[in-house]
Amino acid sequence: MGPRRNAIGAKGFKAEFVGSFFDMEQIPKDTRPQVALAGRSNVGKSSLLNRLVGRKGLAKVSGTPGKTRSLNFFLINDAYYLVDLPGYGYARVSKDIKQSWGKLIESYLRTSEALAGLVLLLDCRRDPTPEDAQLLSWLAARELPALIALTKADKLTRNQLNRKETQVEQELGLSAIATSSKSGVGKIDLLRAVNELVDEFSPR
Ligand SMILES: Nc1nc2c(ncn2[C@@H]2O[C@H](COP(=O)(O)OP(=O)(O)OP(=O)(O)O)[C@@H](O)[C@H]2O)c(=O)[nH]1
Ligand SMILES: [Mg+2]
């Protein structure tokens, strides 16, 4: 079918960095759907984005939490955007900076007209935080879909992951997909889910 279908399978898959934006005025005025990747600092958002698009260095990754500070837009197959959001919950940044990232994430999730849905990333070894739940409630308030990607699945056994998936699904009422940017586990399932968000998007 259309270009979105080509998203699965590396051949013909196109991903371009569009820009880093520090406020809502700057983001592309474009009706193509956006799927946001959000989660705590260091949870693995940028790494997962790179794994999804098959390009290691496309989104900046670092061992230092707080690497991503802006809304980073990547255009996929000329059809939709993946948006890498700043991480939250990182203790070692100033209160002012925390507030400005928080405001940026909040205004983006609450007002972006082309937002098709959210992929909330949770470390498979940790429990969801109140901030994670807050993001989901902003999406729910707009009746926008969300799904969970459990990250760093290479750190647990398949049994432990199954348990975690079930726990998170019950706790948050959303489906959870175990992923690893290291091994590639979950990539196809997550891309499929992202494509569904894109296909179901209707501009408001
Ligand atoms: N073992 C393992 N490590 C991972 C995985 N994904 C990411 N990491 C590591 O986790 C750290 C943070 O990864 P990032 O992708 O920068 O995380 P982020 O969520 O974008 O972080 P911020 O931009 O600071 O919010 C890096 O050291 C990565 O190498 C994974 O699937 N498995
Ligand atoms: Mg990042």
CATH number at residue 24: 3.40.50.300
Residue 72 in any domain: the answer is: yes
Q: Give how many domains the chain has, as a whole number.
A: 1
**Distance of CA 25 to CAs 29, 44, 81, 118, Å?**
9, 27, 17, 20
pLDDT for the residue 64: 75
Residue 163 in any domain: the answer is: no
Atom of ligand 1 nearest to the CA of 60: 16
Per the DSSP assignment, residues forming a β-bridge with 120 are 38, 148
Residue 26 in any domain: the answer is: yes
Q: Which residues line ligand 1 at a C-beta cut-off of 6 Å?
A: 39, 41-47, 61-63, 65-68, 87, 151-152, 154-155, 180-182
pLDDT for the residue 97: 66
Residue 116 in any domain: the answer is: yes
Whether residue 110 contacts residue 139, with contact meaning beta carbons closer than 8 Å, is answered with no
Whether residue 123 contacts residue 168, with contact meaning beta carbons closer than 8 Å, is answered with no
Pocket test residue of 43, 47, 83 for ligand 1, highest count of atoms within 8 A of CB: 47
pLDDT for the residue 1: 42
pLDDT at 172 over 70: yes
Residue 165 in any domain: the answer is: no
Pocket test residue of 181, 185, 187, 190 for ligand 1, highest count of atoms within 8 A of CB: 181
Q: Which domain holds residue 19?
A: 3-120+127-144+185-200
Name residue 188's amino acid: I
Structure-token match 């992951």, residue found? 161
Residue 152 in any domain: the answer is: no
Structure tokens at 178: 């175990």
Tens-digit pLDDT profile for residues 24-76: 999 999 999 999 999 998 999 999 999 999 998 898 887 776 666 789 999 99
**Distance of CA 21 to CAs 52, 73, 132, 148, 157, Å?**
21, 8, 22, 24, 38
pLDDT for the residue 5: 47
Range with lowest mean pLDDT among 60-64, 125-129, 172-176: 60-64
pLDDT at 176 over 50: yes
The pTM of this model reads 0.92
